[in-house]
């Protein structure tokens, strides 16, 4: 990333942190594993990885990260969330565990585990016009679903039945699936382009 001044971060409290870090590094980004507010303050963008959204929520509060992340999102920090990360970016959550909170920022309603448990995981090809003509091979693992989008949130990809599985709003990007697991790097490239534009 020529001309970059500061690294991008991956929230490293729980989930598939290493996979995202590898993709970002492979695209030329300097990567920081973000566990503390000081780490967050050192990055120009943040990835919220897949994992268990309720656990990441609890750990973010335990580590004093919830409010700094919420403040950074409100201040325009580019953030990309996959699977659990999408849940954490949503303003509204359906089927969360009791007391579960999100960081918010995306004007969407997301349903946790919308397709069922691990045994109901599946793969499919998606048309994502924002990423070009080549379809995206998407892996859904205990995936959420965007049930409603507000006026500022743009659906980037839908399943054949029209259900929304990728969304963008300003500097925020969310996918219900895991591009970091399939060699699909275009969503990370879109995130990094947002980071560069923000600088």
The set of catalytic residues is 83, 178, 180
Q: End-to-end CA distance of the chain, in Å?
A: 12
What does the alpha-carbon distance between residue 136 and residue 128 come to, in Å, rounded to a whole number? 7
- DSSP state at residue 135: P
B/e letters for 63-92, b = 16+ CB within 10 Å, e = fewer, are eebbebbbebbeeebbbbbbbbbbbbbbbb
- Please list, in sequence order, all residues whose beta carbon lies within 8 angstroms of the beta carbon of residue 59, skipping any fewer than 6 positions away: 13, 14, 65
């Amino acid at each position: 990333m020529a001309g970059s001044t500061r690294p991008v971060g991956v929230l490293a409290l729980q989930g598939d942190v290493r996979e995202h870090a590898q993709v970002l590094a492979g695209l030329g980004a300097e990567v920081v594993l973000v566990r503390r507010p000081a780490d967050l303050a050192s990055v120009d963008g943040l990835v919220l990885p897949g994992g268990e959204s309720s656990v990441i929520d609890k750990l973010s509060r335990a580590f004093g990260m919830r409010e700094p992340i919420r403040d950074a999102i409100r201040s325009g920090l580019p953030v990309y969330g996959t699977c659990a990360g999408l849940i954490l970016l949503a303003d509204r959550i359906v089927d969360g565990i009791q007391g579960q909170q999100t960081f918010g920022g995306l004007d969407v309603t997301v349903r946790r585990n919308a397709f069922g448990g691990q045994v109901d995981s599946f793969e499919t090809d998606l048309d994502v016009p924002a990423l070009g003509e080549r379809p995206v091979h998407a892996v859904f693992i205990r995936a959420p679903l965007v049930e409603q989008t507000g006026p500022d949130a743009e659906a980037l990809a839908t399943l054949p039945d029209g259900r929304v599985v990728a969304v963008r709003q300003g500097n925020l990007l969310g996918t219900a699936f895991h591009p970091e697991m399939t060699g699909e790097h275009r969503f990370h490239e879109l995130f990094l382009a947002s980071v560069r534009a923000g600088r």
